[in-house]
Amino acid sequence: MNAQTETNSRELTYSEAIREAMDIALGNDERVILMGEDIGVYGGAFGVTGDLVEKYGTDRVMDTPISELGGAGVAVGAALTGLRPIFEFQFSDFATLGMEQIVNQAAKLRFMLGGAVSVPVVMRFPAGSGTGAAAQHSQSLEAWTAHVPGLKVVQPSTPEDAKGLLLAALEDPDPVMIYEHKLLYKMKGPVPAGHYTTPIGKAAIRREGRDVSIVATAIMVHKALEAAETLAREGIDAEVIDLRTIRPIDRDTVLASVRKTGRLICVYEGVKTLGVGAEVSAMVAESDAFDFLDAPIVRLGGAECPIPYNPQLEKAVVPQVPDILDAARGLTKGRI
């Protein structure tokens, strides 16, 4: 069932929606297990798993040792045996210690064994800045995993999609990486009851417009929507596209929007160089949509530095609403 057709909606936080998805999956399919550091009695570093260990026991909600490489390896091995593991990295930054299992094992085994096996593992990554957690706990590394063939990579921006994309990931035969922005965990929104899926590989048009296309990911979707409201009062009609999935990217939706508006801004929190916006820009440049552009493509990404601890500096190194406003004004008024 598609989320848009479900009428029985309630208001849940982003983290509650994720927990509900895991609860549904655990209840419906005995192959589903949860793994990660402190996800049991403690309920997860951000409280997402909550009391699921009390409901399903330690055989299915398992605390792992402080070894991301080991935990990720067990999750990949469990998937190969037919289980449907959901592995949580306590912070997405810690996945750097598990990249061997993600990149060399999960992503490649189906290919190397001629399709004889699949690796249906789901990995969750609490990501992004804004919590004052400094350089080693605040990164946006989704472009790392999106670079790897064999992995699917999603970034839900709403509670509804946080639930729907997780349930869709559990039905996928290939490894799915889910990046959850930490500042979104407390955000509330309508979430359909029961089981539904949000399609992997399909973007959402959050706001239709005619003057400029703003393609955004994760929390940047909300900053783009806030900017779009201000722009509308100035007579600039911005279209906001939530990619939702960055591997595979919804090429058709992005290109159709650019053909309509003739202008493109890519907004993402990861470092600007070689980030998600670079791929979207190249995709447009290599298509017929390039001929519809009336101005250069603008990328708004993270600064070329680690995330600072200082709150003001932390905000300064990732795109904010004023940056989006300046870019949109510049594009539509011919200053860029």
What span, in angstroms and rounded, lies between the C-alpha atoms of 67 and 69?
A: 5
What structural domains and CATH numbers belong to the chain?
A: 3-192 (3.40.50.970), 204-332 (3.40.50.920)
Q: Where does the chain have alpha helices with state H?
A: 14-28, 52-56, 68-80, 99, 109-112, 142-146, 159-170, 219-233, 251-261, 276-285, 311-316, 321-332
Q: Does the annotation count 195 as an active-site position?
A: no
Statement: residue 1 has pLDDT above 90: no
Which one, of 67, 4, 57, 15, lies nearest residue 34 by Cα?
Answer: 57
Statement: residue 8 has pLDDT above 80: no
Indicate which residue of 16, 20, 37, 68 is catalytic.
Answer: 68
Q: Does the annotation count 68 as an active-site position?
A: yes
Largest distance between two CA atoms of the chain: 61
- pLDDT on residue 9: 66
The model's pLDDT over 39-62, given as tens digits with 9 standing for 90+, comes to 999 999 999 999 999 999 999 999
What span, in angstroms and rounded, lies between the C-alpha atoms of 76 and 102?
A: 8
Is residue 89 within 8 Å of 123, Cβ to Cβ? yes
Which one, of 302, 304, 298, 285, lies nearest residue 324 by Cα?
Answer: 298
Percent of the chain's residues with pLDDT above 70: 97
The average pLDDT across 25-47 equals: 96
The average pLDDT across 296-309 equals: 97
- pLDDT on residue 336: 78
The average pLDDT across 274-299 equals: 97
Statement: residue 3 has pLDDT above 70: no
The model's pLDDT over 102-126, given as tens digits with 9 standing for 90+, comes to 999 999 999 999 999 999 999 999 9
**Half-sphere CA count of 96, side-chain side, radius 13 A:** 10
Which string of DSSP letters, residue by residue, matches 71-117?
A: HHHHHHHHHHTT-EEEEE-SSGGGGGGGHIIIIIIITTHHHHTTTS-
Statement: residue 4 has pLDDT above 50: no
pTM of the full structure: 0.95
The average pLDDT across 83-95 equals: 97
The average pLDDT across 227-255 equals: 98
Q: Helices 251-261 and 276-285 meet at what angle, rounded to 10?
A: 70
Statement: residue 2 has pLDDT above 60: no
The average pLDDT across 193-210 equals: 98
Residue type, 114: G
Q: Residue 82's pLDDT band (boundaries 50, 70, 90)?
A: very high
Indicate which residue of 20, 137, 142, 314 is catalytic.
Answer: 137
